[in-house]
A and B are shown apart, each in its own frame.
Chain A
Amino acid sequence: MSELERLTARLAAVLPPGAVITDPVRLRTYECDGLTHHRATPGVVVLPDGAEQVAAVVRLCGEHGVPFVARGSGTGLSGGALPRTDGVLIVTSRMRRIVEIDIPNRRAVVEPGVTNLAITEAVRDQGYYYAPDPSSQQVCSIGGNVAENSGGAHCLKYGFTVNHVLAAEIVTPDGDIVELSAMDAGYDLLGAFIGSEGTLGIATKITVRLSRAPEAVTTLLAAFTSIEAGGHAVSAIIAAGVVPAAIEMMDALAIEAAEAAVHCSYPAGAGAVLVVELDGPHAEVEHQFAAVERICRDSGAFEIRVAASAAERAAIWKGRKSAFAAVGRISPAYIVQDGVVPRTALPRVLAGIDRLQEEFGIRVANVFHAGDGNLHPLVLFDDSVPGEAERAEIVSGRILDLCIEHGGSITGEHGVGVDKARYMPRMFTGDDLDTMQLVRCAFDPRGLANPGKVFPTPRLCGEVPGVRKGAHPLVEAGLAEQF
């Protein structure tokens, strides 16, 4: 009998009926997250309802030395919720209560399975909203947002999940329930926990900041003949001291895909479209809008549309928000990349991507959060053509190299997960990674929380604390295994 089987036999005692899934067919439902080319059938799936139950499962994992992975809605794009065949998948879908809405204190307390948009929907009538807005906000869970430090189109002005979470109740990898609060003195463990991709524990209750809905919102779509002209407009907007809520750009191929999928009716013949959203007090938005419109015209925009209503705003956003799925209309398969470059390096990086397309005969559609240099190149390929998937994979990796060369990052919002762990050493030195590992060892010395994610070759946390160099002696001797 394996440790996993022994553990599974004990799960029923700590969970309500129906909360333990062992049926192989049902287990397969959970074999991947939004990054579908990584798949693994979980050893067992549990559906706890509440922090105590999560803690009980995690403690059992500790007793049996079995790894565990947390999963929210499974929309992640880096394989962060990829299960372990030898482990427990802890799914938070039963923890969907909005515990408290406290408008006077501008906060809401929610369970991790609550969707991002549900928070906004609960407070919209009162003139508030939850600011981070990942494209998957209708379905993605707030617990997943905390794990990934999710951003969204509007994070240019409003920041990321970490800037909007005030406290979190977590279950540590030891199975303790601990409150991390921005109010407390001491280390900012809340800040370190958010974005740790499930490797430091599982959030079971999250206190988020609610933001006041802006008085005015103006959305503008500008069409340019080339991506260079659009890029010039972005730089000029930033240089003019305007901080829009969002600046998004799509290239011709991405526009073609969006047209095919959702008929967004973007201006014909556009080499690039720019979506700029301004929000704030009326007087300020008016002023900034005039500046942005002028800059777009000066940069060569041949058509500018301004949304006059919520419906028109939604129409402008429709093309952008559907872009990832839309490329399915023009290509049998694709890889979504998530690199970041300093905004001023955008033209050089885009030129580099063009060269890669030519060199490898692979098409790349570009969709990006231009304001903060976050690229989402969609690398298109036909998996029925021998060798094309491999070439697409190489192009995808080379794009990340370009980002790193230009001082950027391998991920702006999708996370490292299992997908990019191998790229971490390109961005960080061994000392950098070992230092991050100290945090991991403090929270999870046995490496049971989401092992194999984020870090390429996690080290064992030895009894002697401190930075370890090279392979662990026990591993070298074949006496231990690294999770």
Chain B
Amino acid sequence: MSERDVGDALEATGVAVRAAGDEDEVAGVRPRWVALPESAEEIAAVMRVCAAHDLAAVATGGGTKLHWGAPPRRCDVLVDLCCLNRVVEHAAGDLVVRAQAGVTVEALARALAEGGQELALDVPVPGTTVGGLLATGIAGPRRFRHGTVRDLLIGVTVVLADGTIAKSGGKVVKNVAGYDLGKLFTGSYGTLGIIADATFRLHPLPAARAWVTATVERPVTETYGTWTNEDGLTFETLTTDLDGSLATMVPAVTESPLEPSAMEVDWPDVSGRCTVAVLVEGAAAAERAKALCGLMGETAEVAEEPPPWWGRLPEHGGTGNTGGGEILLEVRNMPCRLADGFLGLFEAVREAGVRAAMRGSLASHVFHVALPPDTDPALVAGFTSQLRAGVGEEARVVVLAVPPEAGRRLDRWGHVGALRLMHRVKERFDPDRRLSPGRFPGGI
């Protein structure tokens, strides 16, 4: 079948379709068409054409993280969900909202604020849509308090590779009827189906918020010494340690009965100082923040506004969070392995000879690390291995975004325990591998 026939078949669905351009590339792979459905039914119509003509499809929302994940093995149709941009129902009395996939988190927040409510997440990439938020499972500072998007999602409508429209969950928070497909689709990078809409549980906007910030001049200290071996040979040694004040401050704050909602760190250059910021929300926030100051050392001070970096991913070279050059890693670890996180990063930077900025949750021990976009691909790969070795076996290092050249040289996902089961899930949902093929662990 010719290109034209396929294009005609897409046109025949009645869904707006245009030829793809350079700006539609998915991690360096250019699709042939861009479809702009306006409803779940229209997504289904596009998917049926894809099924009939064996076209591979990738979904996109705000396009802010389209370069994340491995490049698709093939991509014929980019399904742009920007037209599914309605907040379908905000039931303020029930503290739930149903929104279509293309609604941006900013638009959603505005709609919810009118009712004095919020989706208690701090999505760290501006312009992210509901669909993109779910597909990547990205979360921000308050994951410590409220969990990530999977913990706030209560219902979802998805369109499968064969055009089937299915929902799970509902619009009540408490609901255990049937499998929770929403969990399965969260963080699935578009490989199981296309998310059409989602329903979330909401929280009342807190009565007050306050932040406490503190600086730590040298988070990692280096001590030179000497070591003599059995043969009498003497070597110079260099030991690194986590700054003592940081090591005591973190558990003191996170385990405090004052119940902070988040504790974040910004370390823009690992040879320099870091800033720690703690968020307190709710009644008596200022009073509680003041009490937390006492746990955070001499530099601690209360602020009514967050520091400028709060709830944003680290970045390098002013490129912002988007763009093909972004190099971004996520480190997840056990909360008490704080030293491993800091020292692992410090040493990986030194060994690999790169520059790195780190930001993330001290409370949940999830950090993001950004390298400058022009970092040599070989160094990126070396850094990733060094970092994995440095943060320890129990930690996970995932390479969220990396230019294709560097991406080919490294393992993006790290250890994935249940990979075989994941393949089997993919095989059932998308047997012909037409949805974002190859973007996920194990080539899924």
**In the assembled complex, which residues on chain B have CB atoms less than 8 Å from the CB atom of A242?**
204
| Interface pair B179/A439, CB less than 8 Å apart | yes
Q: Which of A27-35, A54-62, A67-75, A180-188 contacts B (4 or more CB under 8 A)?
A: A180-188
| Least distance between A71 CB and chain B CB atoms (Å) | 18
Known: A104-B335, A439-B184. A186 touches B413 (CB 8 A): yes
State the CA gap A411–B180 with chains docked (Å).
13
Q: Please, which residue of chain A has its CB at the minimum distance from the CB of B442? A: A186
Q: Is B295 an interface residue (CB 8 A)?
A: no
State the CA gap A146–B419 with chains docked (Å).
21
> Of B137, B205, B287, B414, which one neighbours A241 at CB under 8 angstroms?
B205
Q: Is B259 an interface residue (CB 8 A)?
A: yes
Q: Is B172 an interface residue (CB 8 A)?
A: yes
Known: A344-B91, A373-B94, A439-B425. A431 touches B164 (CB 8 A): yes
| Interface pair A411/B164, CB less than 8 Å apart | no
> Of B166, B417, B442, which one neighbours A432 at CB under 8 angstroms?
B166
Q: Is B129 an interface residue (CB 8 A)?
A: no
Q: Please, which residue of chain B has its CB at the minimum distance from the CB of A416? A: B177
| Least distance between B423 CB and chain A CB atoms (Å) | 9
| Interface pair B179/A436, CB less than 8 Å apart | yes
Q: Is B160 an interface residue (CB 8 A)?
A: yes
Known: A186-B440, A281-B288. A195 touches B176 (CB 8 A): yes
Interface string of A274-300 (1 = CB under 8 A from B): 000000110110111000000000000
| Least distance between A13 CB and chain B CB atoms (Å) | 27
Q: Is B96 an interface residue (CB 8 A)?
A: yes
**In the assembled complex, which residues on chain B have CB atoms less than 8 Å from the CB atom of A137?**
none
Task: List which B123-171 residues lie within 8 A (CB) of chain A.
Answer: 137, 147, 150-151, 158, 160, 162, 164-168, 170-171
| Least distance between B185 CB and chain A CB atoms (Å) | 9
| Interface pair B181/A435, CB less than 8 Å apart | yes
| Interface pair B284/A281, CB less than 8 Å apart | yes
A-B contact count (CB 8 A): 253
State the CA gap A79–B92 with chains docked (Å).
35
State the CA gap A418–B418 with chains docked (Å).
29
| Interface pair A431/B183, CB less than 8 Å apart | no
Task: List which B162-214 residues lie within 8 A (CB) of chain A.
Answer: 162, 164-168, 170-181, 183-184, 186-188, 192, 203-207
Q: Interface size bucket, B side? A: 35 or more
**In the assembled complex, which residues on chain B have CB atoms less than 8 Å from the CB atom of A88?**
none
**In the assembled complex, which residues on chain A have CB atoms less than 8 Å from the CB atom of B429?**
438
| Interface pair A372/B396, CB less than 8 Å apart | no
Total count of chain A residues near the partner, CB < 8 A: 87
**In the assembled complex, which residues on chain B have CB atoms less than 8 Å from the CB atom of A180?**
417-418
| Least distance between B153 CB and chain A CB atoms (Å) | 10
**In the assembled complex, which residues on chain A have CB atoms less than 8 Å from the CB atom of B412?**
185
State the CA gap A373–B95 with chains docked (Å).
11
Q: Is A413 an interface residue (CB 8 A)?
A: yes
State the CA gap A24–B408 with chains docked (Å).
62
Q: Is B308 an interface residue (CB 8 A)?
A: no
| Interface pair A212/B257, CB less than 8 Å apart | yes
Give the one of A183, A343, A411, A467 with max B CB within 10 A.
A183
| Least distance between A232 CB and chain B CB atoms (Å) | 12
Task: List which A304-356 residues lie within 8 A (CB) of chain B.
Answer: 340-344
Chain B facing A: main interface SS: loop
Q: Please, which residue of chain B has its CB at the minimum distance from the CB of A427? A: B177
> Of A192, A409, A411, A414, which one neighbours B179 at CB under 8 angstroms?
A192
State the CA gap A148–B179 with chains docked (Å).
11
Known: A187-B425, A195-B180, A243-B204. A372 touches B418 (CB 8 A): no
> Of A185, A407, A435, which one neighbours B413 at CB under 8 angstroms?
A185
Give the one of A148, A184, A242 with max B CB within 10 A.
A184
State the CA gap A424–B177 with chains docked (Å).
8
Known: A180-B417, A284-B283. A187 touches B116 (CB 8 A): no
| Interface pair B335/A188, CB less than 8 Å apart | no
Known: A409-B175, A432-B178. A186 touches B416 (CB 8 A): yes
| Least distance between A170 CB and chain B CB atoms (Å) | 9
Give the one of B171, B177, B335 with max A CB within 10 A.
B177
Known: A212-B257, A241-B207, A412-B172. A191 touches B414 (CB 8 A): no
Q: Is B336 an interface residue (CB 8 A)?
A: yes
Q: Please, which residue of chain A has its CB at the minimum distance from the CB of B251? A: A104
Q: Is B422 an interface residue (CB 8 A)?
A: yes
> Of B172, B175, B184, which one neighbours A187 at CB under 8 angstroms?
B184
Known: A184-B415, A435-B164. A412 touches B175 (CB 8 A): yes
Q: Please, which residue of chain B has its CB at the minimum distance from the CB of A374? A: B174
**In the assembled complex, which residues on chain A have CB atoms less than 8 Å from the CB atom of B192?**
187
Give the one of A235, A283, A413, A454 with max B CB within 10 A.
A283
| Interface pair A284/B91, CB less than 8 Å apart | no
> Of A104, A192, A429, which one neighbours B184 at CB under 8 angstroms?
A192
Task: List which A43-65 residues lie within 8 A (CB) of chain B.
Answer: none
| Least distance between A399 CB and chain B CB atoms (Å) | 15
| Interface pair B91/A436, CB less than 8 Å apart | no
| Interface pair B283/A372, CB less than 8 Å apart | no
**In the assembled complex, which residues on chain A have CB atoms less than 8 Å from the CB atom of B168?**
428, 432, 435-436
| Interface pair B335/A465, CB less than 8 Å apart | no
**In the assembled complex, which residues on chain A have CB atoms less than 8 Å from the CB atom of B176?**
148-149, 151, 160, 195, 409, 411-416
Q: Is A466 an interface residue (CB 8 A)?
A: yes
State the CA gap A412–B170 with chains docked (Å).
11
Q: Is B427 an interface residue (CB 8 A)?
A: yes
| Interface pair B441/A454, CB less than 8 Å apart | no
| Least distance between A184 CB and chain B CB atoms (Å) | 5
Q: Is B390 an interface residue (CB 8 A)?
A: no
> Of A176, A287, A411, A443, which one neighbours B284 at CB under 8 angstroms?
A287
| Least distance between A66 CB and chain B CB atoms (Å) | 22
Q: Please, which residue of chain A has its CB at the minimum distance from the CB of B178? A: A436
Q: Is B273 an interface residue (CB 8 A)?
A: no
| Least distance between A202 CB and chain B CB atoms (Å) | 14
Q: Is A178 an interface residue (CB 8 A)?
A: yes
| Interface pair A191/B93, CB less than 8 Å apart | no
**In the assembled complex, which residues on chain B have CB atoms less than 8 Å from the CB atom of A466?**
162, 428, 431
Give the one of B179, B180, B288 with max A CB within 10 A.
B179
- On B, residues with C-beta under 8 Å from A are 91-96, 116, 137, 147, 150-151, 158, 160, 162, 164-168, 170-181, 183-184, 186-188, 192, 203-207, 251, 255, 257-259, 282-284, 287-288, 332, 334-336, 394-396, 398, 412-422, 424-425, 427-429, 431, 440-442, 444
Q: A373-B172, A409-B177, A442-B425 are in contact. List 6 more A-B contacts (CB 8 A).
A: A188-B184, A340-B175, A342-B93, A373-B173, A424-B177, A442-B421
Can you offer 16 A-B residue contacts whose CB atoms are under 8 A? A105-B336, A178-B417, A181-B417, A187-B184, A188-B186, A195-B176, A284-B288, A342-B93, A344-B91, A372-B174, A373-B94, A407-B170, A409-B177, A416-B177, A427-B178, A467-B162
- On A, residues with C-beta under 8 Å from B are 104-107, 127, 148-149, 151, 155, 159-160, 162-163, 172, 176, 178-181, 183-189, 191-192, 194-196, 212, 214-215, 235, 238-239, 241-243, 280-281, 283-284, 286-288, 340-344, 369, 372-374, 407-416, 420, 424, 427-429, 431-436, 438-443, 454, 465-467
The 7 A-B pairs of least Cβ separation, nearest first, read A191-B183, A283-B284, A241-B204, A215-B257, A287-B283, A435-B166, A104-B336
